[in-house]
Amino acid sequence: CTEAGAAAMEERRILTSDVQKVLLQAEKSGKHLVHGETGRFLASFRPAVVTYWVKYEQTDEGYLVHNTWCHRMKIQGGQP
């Protein structure tokens, strides 16, 4: 995680395991958005009532998380 990513996880009480689930789901499904200028990815996963979102990039060492957030709303029309 970047410093900002770790701070967001701490502030929003998002577990590392929840972030890992988002990244695994995005990798398995191929469903994620790509920012045109930065090349960073945005992915979400709704394992239960809460939807988790992660903004990240792939590096040679793995994934670098830049931001995370979650919400309990269900978005109609699906997720990326």
Q: What kind and span of H or E run contains 64?
A: strand 62-71
CB 20 within 8 A of CB 27: no
Residue 12 is classified by DSSP as H
pLDDT at 77: 66
| Residue 28: pLDDT band with limits 50, 70, 90 | very high
pLDDT in tens, 40-70: 999 999 988 899 999 999 999 999 999 999 9
The residue-averaged pLDDT of 16-37 equals 91
Say whether 40 sits in a helix, a strand or coil.
coil
